């Protein structure tokens, strides 16, 4: 049973520990939950900043609904960072509901998000609890940009891009969990919103983004579709929304695309356990271990929403840095609101809809993690 109001699940992971950094900064006590208490203790001692001033406990739990309910009970909010969420997510969502907790997580995996909405949205609403996936750099930043564009009258169509300095191994690397989540996308259906309906992207869809922020076009992919088309599907302001992700300084995205083409040609029809093994090998060879903490001089991001109406047009951009550190900050921004009982939504809702995009942007701006610019075109 959790002694403190906030659970960080995935407490031995890169993003779970960054969330703890921010909770400690805000003096919020937390319960760290993971499958191996000894590993959590070691990892936290290495990685969590200001741990000496934290109020916390560690609980070991198995990844089953029963074990997680036992660990979560007593808390009010679960911050879930155990991914890939396509594989592990729904178990924790069910456990948080049964334990009477709000559930927020760090993934933009679209198929999982659709499943959360369809299987748990109404149940959370009836319980007066919020279930809010994707409170993370991807795709809270793109959603903030989209909401800034939607502040302009007449905008009803959105195109968004999340462009980052991509993984180069070493210092700018992405994490083991993120790599596994990226390769999981190959077996998920990726959709965009067109005329109020979710429509699957063509297989092997890619983009060349021409942005005034870069000298050259940026190669980008739908990246599973992102959370935005799902969050805008039932939003009366929006008729269409298409979103993508690109790395603007290297060829890693092209490698991911090439493997996706190989998946379609060779792995798509294999039994699930063979596919699991392919994904395991891909993840292990791409990201063998946890990368070091991000540096502001290396990790930078540009999230843009182009909004169109009949004749109106607007371009909103959120510039950012240190995407994983920002994810911990966003989780903490959401926790502060939930502990205060200050959410405008229960059931299934995005961070921007539950807490307001201006609140989230302000929280990030105050901490040097984001800056927004809006141009009417």
Query: Which residue ranges make up the site for ligand NAP (CB under 6 A)?
Result: 10, 12-16, 34-36, 39, 63, 81-85, 88, 106-108, 136-138, 175-178, 181, 290, 323-324, 327
Q: Among 331, 350, 352, 356, which Cα is nearest to 30's?
A: 331
Q: Give the CB-nearest residue to ligand NAP.
A: 83
Q: Residue 224 Cβ, how far from ligand NAP at the closest point, in Å?
A: 10
Q: Residue 288 Cβ, how far from ligand NAP at the closest point, in Å?
A: 11
- Whichever of 35 and 367 has its CB closer to ligand NAP, that residue is 35
Query: For residues 85, 319, 131 and 128, what is the CA-based torsion angle, rounded to 10 degrees?
Result: 170
- Whichever of 307 and 328 has its CB closer to ligand NAP, that residue is 328
**38: which residues sit within 8 A by CB, 6+ positions away?**
none
Distance CA 246, CA 228 (A): 16
> Which uninterrupted H or E stretch holds 283?
helix 272-286
Distance CA 225, CA 245 (A): 9
- Whichever of 314 and 330 has its CB closer to ligand NAP, that residue is 330
Distance CA 151, CA 155 (A): 8
Q: Residue 264 Cβ, how far from ligand NAP at the closest point, in Å?
A: 22
Q: Residue 26 Cβ, how far from ligand NAP at the closest point, in Å?
A: 19
- Whichever of 180 and 314 has its CB closer to ligand NAP, that residue is 180
- Whichever of 328 and 347 has its CB closer to ligand NAP, that residue is 328
Are 221 and 186 spatial neighbours (Cβ–Cβ below 8 Å)?
A: no
- Whichever of 308 and 352 has its CB closer to ligand NAP, that residue is 352
Q: Residue 80 Cβ, how far from ligand NAP at the closest point, in Å?
A: 9
Q: Residue 356 Cβ, how far from ligand NAP at the closest point, in Å?
A: 20
Measured at the CA of 134, the angle between CA 132 and CA 135, to 5 degrees, comes to 80
Beta bridge partners of 103: 78, 131
- Whichever of 99 and 157 has its CB closer to ligand NAP, that residue is 99
Q: Residue 104 Cβ, how far from ligand NAP at the closest point, in Å?
A: 12
Q: Residue 120 Cβ, how far from ligand NAP at the closest point, in Å?
A: 18
- Whichever of 67 and 206 has its CB closer to ligand NAP, that residue is 67
Residue 3 in tokens? 């002694």
- Whichever of 155 and 163 has its CB closer to ligand NAP, that residue is 163
- Looking only at the bridges linking them, the beta strands covering 370-376 and 102-105 are unpaired
What is the separation of C-alpha 85 from the centre of its chain, rounded to a whole number of angstroms?
10
Q: Residue 311 Cβ, how far from ligand NAP at the closest point, in Å?
A: 34
Beta bridge partners of 197: 194
> Which uninterrupted H or E stretch holds 127?
helix 110-127
Q: Among 133, 108, 114, 96, which Cα is nearest to 353's?
A: 133
Length of the chain: 377
DSSP 192-232: EEETTEEEEPPTT--EEE--TTSSS-EEEE-GGG-SHHHHH
Beta bridge partners of 373: 317
């Amino acid at each position: 049973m959790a002694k403190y109001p906030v659970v960080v699940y995935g407490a031995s992971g890169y993003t779970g520990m960054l969330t703890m950094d921010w909770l400690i900064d805000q003096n919020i006590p937390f319960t760290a939950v993971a499958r191996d208490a000894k590993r959590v203790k070691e990892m936290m001692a290495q990685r969590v900043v200001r741990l000496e001033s934290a109020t916390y406990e560690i609980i070991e739990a198995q990844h089953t609904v029963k074990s997680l309910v036992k660990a979560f009970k007593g808390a009010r909010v679960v911050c879930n960072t155990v991914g890939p969420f396509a594989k592990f997510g729904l178990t924790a969502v069910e456990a948080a509901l049964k334990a009477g907790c709000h559930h927020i997580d760090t993934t933009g995996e679209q198929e999982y998000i659709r499943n959360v909405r369809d299987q748990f949205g109404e149940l959370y609403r009836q319980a007066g609890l919020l279930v809010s996936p994707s409170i993370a750099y991807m795709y809270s930043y793109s959603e903030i940009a989209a909401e800034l564009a939607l502040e302009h009258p007449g905008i009803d169509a959105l195109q968004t891009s999340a462009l980052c300095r991509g993984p180069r191994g070493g210092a700018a690397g992405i994490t083991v969990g993120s790599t596994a989540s990226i390769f999981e996308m190959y077996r998920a259906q990726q959709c965009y919103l067109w005329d109020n309906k979710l429509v699957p992207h063509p297989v092997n869809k890619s983009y060349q983004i021409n942005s005034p922020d870069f000298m050259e076009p940026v190669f980008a992919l739908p990246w599973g579709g992102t959370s935005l088309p799902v969050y805008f599907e039932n939003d009366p302001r929006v008729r269409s929304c298409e979103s993508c992700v690109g790395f603007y300084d290297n060829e890693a995205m092209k490698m991911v695309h090439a493997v996706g083409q190989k998946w379609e040609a060779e792995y798509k029809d294999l039994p699930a356990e063979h596919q699991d093994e392919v994904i395991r090998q891909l993840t292990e060879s791409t990201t063998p271990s946890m990368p070091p903490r991000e540096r502001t001089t290396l990790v930078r991001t540009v999230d843009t929403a182009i909004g169109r109406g009949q004749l109106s047009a607007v371009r909103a951009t959120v510039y950012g840095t240190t995407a994983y550190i920002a994810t911990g900050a966003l989780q903490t921004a959401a926790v502060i609101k939930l502990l205060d009982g200050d959410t405008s939504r229960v059931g299934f809702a995005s961070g921007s809809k539950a807490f307001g995009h201006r609140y989230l942007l302000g929280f990030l701006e105050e901490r040097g993690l984001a800056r927004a610019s809006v141009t009417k075109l």
